[in-house]
Amino acid sequence: MVDSLRVAFIGAGGNTTLRHLPGLLAIDNVEAVAVCNRSAESGQRVADEFGITRVETDPAAIFAADDIDAVSIGTWPYRHREYTVGALEAGKHVLCEARMAMNASEAREMLAASQARPDLVAQIVPAPMDLLVWRTVRRLLEENALGTVREVHCDVLNGSAIDPTGPLHWRHQHEFSGSNVMMFGIFTEIVTRWLGPTARVMSDAEVFVPARSDSSGASVDVDVPDSLGVLARLENGARVTYRISTVVHDGTPPSISLYGSEATLHWRGADNLTLSHVGGESETVTPDPGTAVGWNVEQDFVDSIRDKKPVELTNFTDGLHYMRLTEAVERSRTEGRAVGLEEV
């Protein structure tokens, strides 16, 4: 019989109630023992829905509890460092919602706290869009199926924020999201997963909708860009062009294209992969057998705890890289210059 794993949830918002709570409770001998939200009322609603008996409003009570083995942190990024470090120092495994932190400095503190407790699992919720294909893409690259990858084009274009009367969201405010901008961090995580680290960046951005109304109807300044362009150079020499926007009329799904000296690989979401050799026809690429696992975050977390499986998607070292990258982009767009990741 596997020992029971007792999990508490701090910041049980949308992704926690949609993914983490049901996913963890579906695993044998995993128990949800407490929920801690900003208000007792919202915490009680989650507790009632999932049969949780304990509701807290102070995370310190979660960290101090002897009957809690692991903590799932689902708050906005502005609390990730504080609660992750607190949980690890209290001897509890951590599953932290993405994005990892507000900036690279906070991410380093989180990594250091995890390294101080190698007996504990520290996992960040991964970028989910490429879960069906990333192993296949990596295999093609390792086999040199594209030749030398020269350019990467990443487009994430939609009109989700084009309506200026739309409500204020925490993602619109630097005080809650830090250097994270729209879906840029998610797609840099994917590009890094496929092709390796970034060496330097140059960026430009704009806030086209400068204010939005909060829940009280008050107008609040928006200080996170809704349009971002980034030119990046990977350590392997490839050039990456990112176009990220929530204020364009474009109904196409996010896409990443890898242009090699011998072939081009297009990914248009989910398992939509096509490969075309120079001078040849485009061919559909089916994910390699057994690799299109999809969302398995909660099971991976439990397996790492019970079976000592190394965290792959996503470990804190990889998280620190994408936070260095997002901060480098922020510095570049605010200072008007190219920024190497060695500066961050």
State the CATH number of the domain containing residue 58. 3.40.50.720
What is the Cα–Cα distance from 14 to 200, expressed in whole angstroms? Answer: 34
Do 216 and 142 have their domain in common?
yes
In this prediction, residues 164-193 reach a mean pLDDT of 97
Do 157 and 87 have their domain in common?
no
User: How many secondary structure helices (H) and strands (E) does the chain include?
Assistant: 11, 17
Please state the domain count of the chain: 2
Q: What is the pLDDT of residues 302-321, one digit of tens each?
A: 999 999 999 999 999 999 99
Q: What is the pLDDT of residues 264-278, one digit of tens each?
A: 999 999 999 999 999
- pTM here is 0.96
Instruction: Tell me if 15 is assigned to some domain.
Output: yes
Domain that includes residue 27, residue range: 5-126+295-314
Do 47 and 60 have their domain in common?
yes
Q: What is the pLDDT of residues 89-125, one digit of tens each?
A: 999 999 999 999 999 999 999 999 999 999 999 999 9
Q: What is the pLDDT of residues 116-141, one digit of tens each?
A: 999 999 999 999 999 999 999 999 99
Do 224 and 287 have their domain in common?
yes
Instruction: Tell me if 319 is assigned to some domain.
Output: no
Do 12 and 100 have their domain in common?
yes
Do 174 and 303 have their domain in common?
no
Of 28-32, 78-82, 248-252, where does mean pLDDT reach its minimum? 248-252
Tell me: pLDDT of 2 over 80: no
Do 287 and 304 have their domain in common?
no
What is the Cα–Cα distance from 273 to 286, expressed in whole angstroms? Answer: 7
Q: Any idea what the CATH number is for the domain that residue 188 is in? A: 3.30.360.10
Burial of 256 (0-12, 13-18, 19+ CB in 10 A): buried
Instruction: Tell me if 39 is assigned to some domain.
Output: yes
In this prediction, residues 248-260 reach a mean pLDDT of 93
The count of other CB atoms within 10 Å of the CB of residue 287 is 18
Instruction: Tell me if 86 is assigned to some domain.
Output: yes
Q: By the 8 A CB rule, do 45 and 55 touch?
A: no
Tell me: pLDDT of 250 over 90: no
Tell me: pLDDT of 1 over 50: no
Average pLDDT over the chain, rounded to an integer: 97
Do 256 and 337 have their domain in common?
yes
What's the pLDDT band for 3 if we cut at 50, 70, 90?
confident
Do 86 and 167 have their domain in common?
no
